[in-house]
């Protein structure tokens, strides 16, 4: 009996995450995908066809014939969408690189810090999460605007005499993304650096490496799994980011999250916005698959 129970239990343990994925990812995705194949309609919900069970099976089949890929064709015809995708990927890419350049030294410093103060440092990295994301982004408006804190400070110490125009440019978006996603980059890099055996660095020094070359030949390659994880954790949400470009970016900033929001709310075009979301998902699946491969490889090496 106990064996049957434990076999059942181990099945159950596997079922839970799969059920989670099914209910909270696959089913919503299929709903979105299904809407993306529909047409707009002035109705509630605002698309056709809408299935009901009154027509029976033949009625459902009849209505299913109305599905088409017209919305996807539409996305290819209007350059707006293509430009928005490309611009999102570029902005997310630049932001990811900037985040990496700032986060790596932070994570390195944390991993090299005395063991007793590491929990405090970790806490400080996570601390911004305790305030609302929206409030923190709004705070950047106050800092970056022409008469904001940054410009006041720079002008008071006579570094500049004209205020810098940062707000409503891509620079403000980079700053916003780097600031908001920094912990997601710091934490995986820190965890990969922290568990690294420090005698490896000593071995590299012993074999003739200067501290600089020891870093590039040993420390950095060994932290690569953390770097890849951090980059994906920043890049993936940054591509679809809506709040930061909306609040900090300019009107000419094109990002797919904003486009999607416009289609959905301003145009009330659910099918097209669903098609935009589906394509976005496909764009993001590629780095996720890449990430999983890297992870599997890292696991293999860790054994």
Partner 1 sequence: MKSLGSIRRSFAPWADPASKPFISVKNVTKKFGDFTAVDDLSLNIYTREFFALLGASGCGKSTLLRMLAGFEQPTSGEIILDGQSLAGIPPYRRPVNMMFQSYALFPHMTVETNIAFGLKQDGMPKADIAERVGQMLKLVKLEKFAKRKPHQLSGGQRQRVALARSLAKRPKVLLLDEPLGALDKKLREETQFELMDLQQELGLTFVVVTHDQEEAMTMADRIAVMSHGKVVQVATPAEIYEAPNSRFVADFIGDVNIFDGTVFAAENGYLRIETGNGFPIRMASPEKPAIGAKAAAAIRPEKIRVSRQPPAHAPINAVEGEIWDIGYLGDMTVFHVRLKDGRVVKASSLNAVRAVEDPFGYDQQVWISFGEDAGVVLKD
**Distance from C-alpha of 277 to C-alpha of 71, rounded to nearest angstrom:** 12
* Distance of alpha carbon 180 from the chain centroid: 11
Q: Of 34-42, 128-136, 161-169, 196-204, which segment contacts partner 1 by CB under 8 A?
A: 196-204
Does 207 sit near partner 1 (CB under 8 A)?
yes
Give the C-alpha separation, 269 to 46, whole Å.
8
Site map (CB under 8 A) of partner 1, residues 141-180, x = contact: ----------------------------------------
132 CB-near residues (< 8 Å, 6+ apart): none
Residue 210 binds partner 1, judged by CB under 8 A: yes
| Distance of alpha carbon 148 from alpha carbon 267, whole angstroms | 34
In the set 203, 288, 289, 296, which binds partner 1 (CB under 8 A)? 203
End-to-end alpha-carbon separation of the chain, Å?
A: 35
- Pick the stretch among 1-9, 39-47, 117-125, 193-201 that binds partner 1 (CB under 8 A): 193-201
User: Of 89, 96, 93, nearest to 178 (Cα)?
Assistant: 96
Quick check: 294 binds partner 1 (CB under 8 A)? no
Q: Which of 141, 132, 230, 227 is CA-nearest to residue 182? A: 230
Least distance from partner 1 to the Cβ atom of residue 287, Å: 22
Range in contact with partner 1 (rule: CB under 8 A) among 41-49, 64-72, 202-210, 286-294: 202-210
Binding residues for partner 1, rule CB under 8 A, total 20
Pick from 204, 234, 256, 276 the residue near partner 1 by CB under 8 A.
Answer: 204
C-alpha 181 chain-centroid distance: 8
Does 209 help bind partner 1 (rule: CB under 8 A)?
Answer: yes
Judged by CB, which is closer to partner 1: 11, or 217? Answer: 217
Tally of CB atoms within 10 A around 189: 27
Taking CB under 8 A as the criterion, the residue among 56, 199, 251, 282 binding partner 1 is 199
Which residue in 257, 254, 260, 262 sits closest to 240, CA to CA? 257
Task: Name which of 69 and 216 has its Cβ closer to partner 1.
Answer: 216
Residue with smaller CB distance to partner 1, 94 or 209: 209
Query: In the complex with partner 1, which residue's Cβ is closer, 180 or 191?
Result: 191
Decide if 275 contacts 67 (C-beta within 8 A). Answer: no
Question: Is the previous residue joined to 89 through a cis bond, with omega within 30 degrees of 0?
Answer: no
Alpha-carbon span 184 to 293, nearest angstrom: 20
Q: Does 301 help bind partner 1 (rule: CB under 8 A)? A: yes
Rounded distance, CA 119 to CA 94, Å?
30
**Do 35 and 271 touch, CB atoms closer than 8 A?**
yes
Q: Per CB under 8 A, does 265 bind partner 1?
A: no
> In angstroms, rounded to a whole number, what is the distance separating the alpha carbons of residues 275 and 69?
9
Verify binding: residue 202, partner 1, rule CB under 8 A.
yes
Q: Which region among 25-33, 129-137, 172-180, 207-215 touches partner 1 (by CB under 8 A)? A: 207-215
Residues 215-244 that bind partner 1 (CB under 8 A): 217-218, 221-222
* Tokens representing residue 258 in the block: 């904003």
Q: Per rule CB under 8 A, is residue 208 in the interface with partner 1?
A: yes
- Of the listed pieces 1-9, 30-38, 198-206, 286-294, which binds partner 1 according to CB under 8 A? 198-206
Residues that bind partner 1 (CB under 8 A): 197, 199-200, 202-210, 213, 217-218, 221-222, 301-303
């Amino acid at each position: 009996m106990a064996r049957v129970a434990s076999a059942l239990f181990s099945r159950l343990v596997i079922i839970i995450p799969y059920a989670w994925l099914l209910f909270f990812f696959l089913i919503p995705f299929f709903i979105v995908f299904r809407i993306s194949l529909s047409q707009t309609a002035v109705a509630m919900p605002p698309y056709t066809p809408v299935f009901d069970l009154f027509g029976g099976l033949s009625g459902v089949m009849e209505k299913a014939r109305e599905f088409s890929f017209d919305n996807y064709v539409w996305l290819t015809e209007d350059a707006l969408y293509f430009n928005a995708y490309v611009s999102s990927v570029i902005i997310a890419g630049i932001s990811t690189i900037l985040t990496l350049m700032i986060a790596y030294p932070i994570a390195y410093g944390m991993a090299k810090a005395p063991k007793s103060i590491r929990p405090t440092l970790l806490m400080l990295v996570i601390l911004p999460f305790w305030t609302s994301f929206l409030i923190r982004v709004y705070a950047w408006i106050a800092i970056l605007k022409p008469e904001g804190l940054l410009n006041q400070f720079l002008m008071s110490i006579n570094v500049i005499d004209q205020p810098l125009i940062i707000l409503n440019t891509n620079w403000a978006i980079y700053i916003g993304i780097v600031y908001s996603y920094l912990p997601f980059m710091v934490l995986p890099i820190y965890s990969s650096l922290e568990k690294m055996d420090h005698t490896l660095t000593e071995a590299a020094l012993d074999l003739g490496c200067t501290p600089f070359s020891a870093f590039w030949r040993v420390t950095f390659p060994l932290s690569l799994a953390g770097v890849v994880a951090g980059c994906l954790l920043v890049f993936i949400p940054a591509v679809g980011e809506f709040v930061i470009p909306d609040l900090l970016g300019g009107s000419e900033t094109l990002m797919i999250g904003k486009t999607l929001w416009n289609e959905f709310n301003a145009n009330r075009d659910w099918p097209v916005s669903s098609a935009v979301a589906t394509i976005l998902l496909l764009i993001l699946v590629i780095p996720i698959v890449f990430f999983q491969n890297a992870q599997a490889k890292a696991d293999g090496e860790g054994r």
